[in-house]
Structure 1
C-alpha cells in the first residue's frame, strides 16, 4: 500500500514557494557518502580526492560522524536551518545553527537517539550543553567545508543554478502545479495540495509551517529529503538536474586564445585546475617552478579567477565561477 502525505496550499502558501541554494544541504549527504566507503557512480572522482583528506584531518572521528549516520536515516533538523534568502553563505547558516534554541537541539537529538538506539558520547554532552558545544560542531563543519566542498563549489553551484533556472522557466510557462509535478517522482500536485508518496509521517500546515522552500542538491541522491520544523517553511531537497555530468572533464580546446590575454603560464594553471590542487602539485604537473606557480596563483587570485582553501597543512587552489565562465567563452 502506498502511503501518502498531503500538504494543502492556500493562496498565501503558493505565493511563498521559492528556491534556495543551501551549503548545509550539501554537507550532510556528501559527508555520508564519504563515510559509506562505497564507490559512487557519479561522485567517485570527487570522493577519491576528498576521502584521504577527511581521514588525515580526523573528521572521520568527530562530531559529524555521530550526527550523520553513514547508511542513511534521520539527520538532526537543526543542521539545516531554513535559508532566509536565495543563496545563504556557509557563515550565515553556521550562525543560524549556533543560534538554534537548546530545546530544539535536544528534541532533534532525542529523535536521532530513537532512530539509532542511542547517542554517542559527544552527542550526549551536546544534549547536556547545546549552547556551549554548538560552536565546536560548527567549527568542524567549517573545516569539512573547506577541505571537501569549497574547492569545488563553483562547479557545484553552476549545476544548482542551472536547475533553478530550468524549473523557474517551467513555473513561468506552465504554472507552479506543473513545476511541483515535475520535481520528483514521489510528488504530485492536485486540487491545491502537494502529495508525497512513501512518507510515513503526516505533512500538514500545523507540522510544516507556511509556504514551501525548494532546494536543489548535488549530493542528496535520488530520494527526496524533507525538513518540517514550524514556524519555518517546509523544505524539500531534491537531486538537481545535470548532476550526472558534474565531474566530467571539460577540456579547454582553444587555450591559445586565452593565453594571448592572460599569458601562457597563467592559462596553463587555470586549465590544470580542472580539479583543485596545491602549489606543489601544480608545479609537478606543469613543470613550472613552485615559486613561479605561487606568483601566478597570487595574480589569478587577485583577479578573482582562483580561490584558496585550507586542507590540513596544504592549501588547495580552485577555479572560481568567473574562471569557469572565462574558460567556457574561450572554448566556444
Structure 2
C-alpha cells in the first residue's frame, strides 16, 4: 500500500511552501550517494569534484543510507519560516533535543545491518548531543563548499517553482496545485497519495497542521516525505526547471517571436528557462554584457521579465506573460493575476 495523507479542512487551509537551504544541502549529499541520479547535475559535480575530494563526509554517510533507508529528520527538519537562512537552520539543528536525536539516529543506523553495533554507531548513540554538534559542523562545511556558490541560482529556481504553482492554485484551487506536483503524487478525495512510498505504521499523519511543500533542486527523480514526529508532514518534490539549471543550451526562439522582438532579444527571452544574471546570459548567448543589459531592460519594461537581487547579483526571470510568449502560447491563456514570476520574501 502506498503512503497516504488524508487532509482535513484545517490541513487544506494550512498547506504552505518553504525553501530550505539545509534541506537542499542534505538532498545534495543524498544525491551523491545515488550515482544513477547524477544526470541533471554532472556539470555541478564536475565543478565540485575537487572540493568533494577534500571533504571527509564519512560521519554523515552513516546516516545517509542506500535507497529505502531512513535519514534522521533533524538533519533537514521542515523549517518554520518560508525563507529561513542557513544560519538559522543550523542553529535550530544544533538545538535538537538529545532524546529525539538518539531515537532518529538509532532508526537510521538500524537500516544497515550491523551498523548500530559498530564502533562508529555505538559512539553516535552513546553521545547524541555530541553527534548533533559534529553533524551540524560538517553540514555547515558542506553547505559552504558545495551549495553556497550556486545558491542564488538555486534559490531563484525554487522561488520560480513556487510562483508557478501559486499561479496554478490561484487559477484552479488546491486541486490544480496538488495534482501537478509530481507524477508519483496523486490527489483525490482529500487524500494525497505518494506512490513511491510504502504506508509504514509509524509514518507521519496529517493532523491539522497542514502539509509543507518544498521544491528541491536535488531530489529528482524521487519525492521525499518526512515521517517522524514532531515534525510537520512534509513533501519534498523536484523543482520545475531544475533539469536545465546547470548545463542546458539556450533554446532556439520561435520564428514568429524572433520577427516580433528581433532575434537577439527573442533568444534572451526564450533562454531564460531558469533565472539568470546579465553576465551569465552574455556568456550563454555570446553577446556583450551591455547588449544583454539593454535587451533585458526592454523586456522588463514590456512586462515580460522580472528581476530580483540575490546577494551580489541581479537575476532575471520570465513573468507569466513572458512564459506564454516564449513557449508559443496565446497570451490570453495567462492568469489574470499578477505577472510576476517571483515570490516576495513576505509571501505577498
Q: TM-score scaled by structure 2? A: 0.69
Equivalent residue, structure 1, for 2:135? 137
Distance of 2:127 and 2:63 partners within structure 1: 15
| Contact residue 106 and residue 127 of structure 1 kept, 8 A | yes
Equivalent residue, structure 1, for 2:313? 322
Deviation readout 1:177-199 (Å, 9 max, x if unpaired): 22111111222222222222242
Equivalent residue, structure 1, for 2:273? none
Distance of 2:206 and 2:91 partners within structure 1: 23
Is 1:73 the equivalent of 2:69?
A: yes
Is 1:238 the equivalent of 2:212?
A: no
Is 1:86 the equivalent of 2:82?
A: yes
Equivalent residue, structure 2, for 1:100? 96
| Contact residue 15 and residue 212 of structure 2 kept, 8 A | yes
Q: Residues 39 and 238 (structure 1 numbering): CA distance in 2 closer, same or farther, change over 3 Å?
A: closer
Equivalent residue, structure 1, for 2:331? none
State the number of aligned residues.
Answer: 266
| Contact residue 202 and residue 227 of structure 2 kept, 8 A | no
Is 1:224 the equivalent of 2:215?
A: no
How far apart are residue 104 of structure 1 and its match? Answer: 1.5
Q: CA RMSD in A?
A: 2.8
How far apart are residue 207 of structure 1 and its match? Answer: 3.8
Distance of 2:52 and 2:241 partners within structure 1: 26
| Contact residue 188 and residue 195 of structure 1 kept, 8 A | yes
Q: Residues 320 and 121 (structure 1 numbering): CA distance in 2 closer, same or farther, change over 3 Å?
A: farther
The structure where helix makes up a greater share of residues is 1
Q: What secondary structure, in the 3-state scheme, does the structure 2 residue paired with 1:199 have?
A: strand
Q: What secondary structure, in the 3-state scheme, does the structure 1 residue paired with 2:39 have?
A: coil
- Structure 1 unpaired stretches of 5+: 261-303, 306-318, 327-332
| Contact residue 213 and residue 236 of structure 2 kept, 8 A | yes
Deviation readout 1:217-254 (Å, 9 max, x if unpaired): 00011111010233432010000010111013744123
Q: Residues 36 and 10 (structure 1 numbering): CA distance in 2 closer, same or farther, change over 3 Å?
A: closer
Distance of 1:13 and 1:23 partners within structure 2: 25
Equivalent residue, structure 1, for 2:275? none
Equivalent residue, structure 1, for 2:27? 29
Equivalent residue, structure 1, for 2:289? 255
How far apart are residue 323 of structure 1 and its match? Answer: 3.5
Q: TM-score scaled by structure 1? A: 0.72
Q: Residues 191 and 71 (structure 1 numbering): CA distance in 2 closer, same or farther, change over 3 Å?
A: closer
Q: Residues 93 and 203 (structure 1 numbering): CA distance in 2 closer, same or farther, change over 3 Å?
A: farther
Distance of 2:129 and 2:230 partners within structure 1: 21
Deviation readout 1:7-26 (Å, 9 max, x if unpaired): 21121111110000011221
Q: Residues 257 and 187 (structure 1 numbering): CA distance in 2 closer, same or farther, change over 3 Å?
A: closer
Q: Which of the numbers 171, 195, 217 marks the counterpart of 2:169?
A: 171
How far apart are residue 255 of structure 1 and its match? Answer: 1.3
| Contact residue 34 and residue 51 of structure 1 kept, 8 A | no
How far apart are residue 70 of structure 1 and its match? Answer: 5.6
Q: Residues 257 and 211 (structure 1 numbering): CA distance in 2 closer, same or farther, change over 3 Å?
A: same
